[in-house]
Chains A and B, each alone.
Chain A
Amino acid sequence: MIWTRISALIVKELLAAFRDPKGRFALIIPPLLQVFLFAFAATMEVTNVPIGVLNQDWGAQSQQLISRFERASAFSDVRRYDSASAARAAIDRQEVIVVVEIGQDFSRKIAARETPSVLVLLDGRKSNSAQLVNSYLTTIIGQFGADSIVNAAYAPDSKIVERSWYNPNRDYRNAMVPILIATLPMTMVLMIVGMSVARERELGTFEQLLVSPLQPIEIILGKSVPGLIIGLAQCLVLTAIVMLVFGIPLLGSALLLFLALTVFLIAVIGIALFISSLVSTQQQAMMGTMVVMMPAMMLSGFSSPVQNMPGWLQPLAMANPVTHILVIVRGIFLRDMPFWLVAERIWPMILVAVVTMALAAWMFRRKIQ
């Protein structure tokens, strides 16, 4: 009997989501658009930027150094400036992010085996890109120094052997795109579940549900399950896109990934139900969703690592289900994370789900009386 009632509600909800073409459009197109936008636009690598050079040295050495800049794939072209004022104005106007100043005694000092110096002026208005450009330049100049000054006379005594595990080329896309499997369905599920209760409230049909034989817990289940079905279907499609279109292999267990995603989506549904138990119109539900979603995304390690946050914000990040699912998705995709490490990240999400569901149920029950 209870199953007939709940399944009727679930069927009704799914029909409501899919019947109208605009609704279908809103479920399918924005996530797809965002995957491709994100994959190609969201890069923090610096490639293809122009750099400036102010060369006051007439010798051959500085020309060789500049031709190394020209060959570097990170830089699109090397613009030469004649005077310090022209070079500085170019940074001011944001024509170039950096100007390398080579002094007039550069070649002479190299010939004399002295220590020449190079001044690197960077635009701190974009300090993130500037830091990366600075590290590229440091590598190129250091290598040039090692080749032209030290050469055979000085055998290297030690060297750095570098490895990046799990993502050998440190490909930004490999690290970022799998995360969308969790974040895009989250947005969708928050909206669907949050709005559906608010819509019933606004249109007055929530009263009808309340006078039906459905128990509050059954209403909550009936509102949750369609969101879970739609969310998991999106996870599945997105996983396929990530693997087939972007060619990012899934190293860990798919079963474990979907187990974690299911727990995550249940936690998200709990949050959405809690929001919808507080509001009375769709517009308020949408504002509430935005107020929850933005901090959830930003305090999760999605755009910058959690460990960079100030200490007093870190407990908040740990209570955020997005933080945990990001670690799990990255872990299972890139490094075959073992079960016990995944489990360590799953229980906080279960906690969030239980707390928010209980709060929502309590709020609904209070409103009925």
Chain B
Amino acid sequence: MSAPRPVSNGSWRRIRALIVKETLQVSRDPSSFVVAFVLPALLLFLFGFGISFDATRLKIGLVIEEPTPTAREFLVALANTPYFDIQQSSDRRAFVDDLSAGKLNGVVVLAGDFTERLARGDTAAIQVISDGSDPNTAALVSGYVQGVWATWRAQRAVGAEAAPPGQIEIHSRFWFNPELQSRRFLVPGSISLIQMMIGSLLTALVVSREWERGTMEALLATPVRVVEFIIGKLVPNFVLGMCAMGVCVLASLFVFDIPLRGSVLALTLFTAIFLIVALSLGLLISTVARTQFLASQIAMLVAFLPGLYFSGFLFEVASMPAPLRAFARIVPAYYYVPGLQTIFLAGDIWAVILPASLVLFAMSSLLFAITAKKTRQRLD
């Protein structure tokens, strides 16, 4: 209290001291190491290898009740596609238990009168039974069998030298992901979960820990101001989050073979904005909840689960009921994930990235202001 110091210089010194203290605390706590490195690596690994919506080979049972050349042609048509692992039988009862046990995804039945009806000119039925308890796989089974059937019919028409029925040719092109690997959109999506975890879960613990352990009183007694306190808490976790992001990007590029078509600069800036939102949210939770257990529970409910459900990387937001669609618009990951997928798979499309950045920036300003206000109230 001797000589009055220049204010700006003092403020900078206090922030720096706080950052040093927080950095030491983070680096010496083994559980923050788990949150920052073990969980991200695990999540990335799980989303990269464990989850796949690309059904490689569907297990189906083919029932041919009356073996005829025509039925064998159909079998060959099925076997010639890369979609199916086929077991064959002449009795449909052989497959009922396997379908019920989930060992088969579907059963295709060519009835005994199949060839006979075809020859007579009647409509011959190909029965496709799929396991509806897994609706996605069931839809794939029926879709692929229909595709095989259409090809088979066209071949028969040509073979019979009848006038080929004019069908409409459909050429489908999947942009940005022509091989249709679900990993390519799941991994960028999971990066957002990792950021949310470091930003919110880890940060939620830091202020509540000061309260729980009683060290908050000591901090309140120092000349540190609210904004300085908040910056001191944010900077180390921000650095941690950006490092984890670097690890994630390297793993995406070199382990999971995901292209980065946009620029590193766009990726870094966009991630930085999202991370600040996540950190502000974590800090707000931390200020409200005064125990670590409660803070982590709230962080799971408020930050992690909405990020999982409403970011559009697992579930289609457009298909949800209207109130949930409206709710999705206040979830930060709803803006971050499409932008991230765009930067990775499509390139720097500013029409996607800029509006998303603006919304995220507005969110972080709002959260920061609320946090500052809440913290000040506690100081009184």
Residues on A facing B (Cβ under 8 Å):
22, 26, 30, 33-34, 37-38, 40-50, 76, 89, 91-94, 110, 113-132, 134-135, 137-139, 141-142, 144-146, 149-150, 154-172, 174-175, 195, 281-284, 286-287, 290-291, 294-295, 298-299, 303-305, 307-310, 313, 327, 330-331, 334-335, 337-338, 341, 344
CB of B170 within 8 A of CB of A118, answer yes
> Contacts A48-B318, A154-B165 given: A310-B49 contact, CB under 8 Å?
yes
Point out the residues of chain A lying under 8 angstroms from B192, CB to CB: none
Point out the residues of chain A lying under 8 angstroms from B182, CB to CB: 127-128, 304
Q: In whole angstroms, what is the CA distance A120 to B301 when docked? A: 40
Q: In whole angstroms, what is the CA distance A160 to B124 when docked? A: 9
Point out the residues of chain B lying under 8 angstroms from A37, CB to CB: 305, 309
- Of A38, A130, A149, A298, the contact of B51 (CB 8 Å cutoff): A298
> Contacts A114-B166, A160-B145 given: A282-B293 contact, CB under 8 Å?
yes
CB of A294 within 8 A of CB of B42, answer yes
B83 close to chain A: CB less than 8 A? no
Chain A nearest CB from B117 CB (Å) reads 8
B151 close to chain A: CB less than 8 A? no
CB of B53 within 8 A of CB of A304, answer yes
Point out the residues of chain B lying under 8 angstroms from A33, CB to CB: 301
Chain B nearest CB from A135 CB (Å) reads 5
Point out the residues of chain A lying under 8 angstroms from B223, CB to CB: none
CB-CB contacts of B21-34 with A at 8 A, as 1s and 0s? 00000000011001
CB of A170 within 8 A of CB of B46, answer no
Q: Which residue of A lies closest to B128 (CB)?
A: A162
B127 close to chain A: CB less than 8 A? yes
> Contacts A124-B177, A309-B49 given: A30-B301 contact, CB under 8 Å?
yes
Point out the residues of chain A lying under 8 angstroms from B134, CB to CB: 175, 305
Tell which of B1-9, B226-234, B338-346, B360-368 binds the partner: B338-346
Chain A nearest CB from B333 CB (Å) reads 13
CB of B180 within 8 A of CB of A40, answer no
CB of A175 within 8 A of CB of B292, answer no
CB-CB contacts of B169-189 with A at 8 A, as 1s and 0s? 111111111101110110000
Number of A-B contacts (CB under 8 A): 299
B52 close to chain A: CB less than 8 A? yes
Point out the residues of chain A lying under 8 angstroms from B50, CB to CB: 295, 298-299, 309, 313
- Of A44, A160, A305, the contact of B146 (CB 8 Å cutoff): A160
B221 close to chain A: CB less than 8 A? no
B59 close to chain A: CB less than 8 A? yes
Point out the residues of chain A lying under 8 angstroms from B126, CB to CB: 158-161
Point out the residues of chain A lying under 8 angstroms from B99, CB to CB: 165
Across the A-B interface, give the 8 residue pairs with the lowest CB-CB distance, nearest first.
A124-B177, A167-B132, A164-B132, A145-B168, A117-B169, A124-B174, A170-B135, A149-B166
> How many B residues, CB 8 Å from partner?
100
- Of B59, B296, B301, the contact of A286 (CB 8 Å cutoff): B296
Greatest chain A CB density within 10 A among B102, B150, B171, B349 is at B102
CB of A160 within 8 A of CB of B149, answer yes
CB of B166 within 8 A of CB of A159, answer no
Chain B nearest CB from A128 CB (Å) reads 5
Point out the residues of chain B lying under 8 angstroms from A113, CB to CB: 166
CB of B342 within 8 A of CB of A158, answer no
CB of A117 within 8 A of CB of B294, answer no
CB of B315 within 8 A of CB of A283, answer no
Point out the residues of chain A lying under 8 angstroms from B168, CB to CB: 115-118, 141-142, 144-145, 149
Q: In whole angstroms, what is the CA distance A137 to B342 when docked? A: 24
Tell which of B240-248, B267-275, B319-327, B370-378 binds the partner: B319-327
Q: In whole angstroms, what is the CA distance A149 to B169 when docked? A: 12
> Contacts A49-B316, A137-B170, A165-B99 given: A125-B176 contact, CB under 8 Å?
yes
Q: In whole angstroms, what is the CA distance A77 to B96 when docked? A: 41
Can you add 12 more A-B contacts, CB < 8 Å, to A116-B168, A175-B132, A294-B46?
A: A22-B294, A115-B169, A124-B176, A124-B184, A131-B180, A135-B143, A142-B150, A144-B168, A145-B166, A155-B121, A162-B128, A335-B100
CB of A44 within 8 A of CB of B136, answer yes
Contacts A/B (CB < 8 Å), 5 sampled: A41-B320, A43-B316, A114-B166, A144-B168, A299-B50
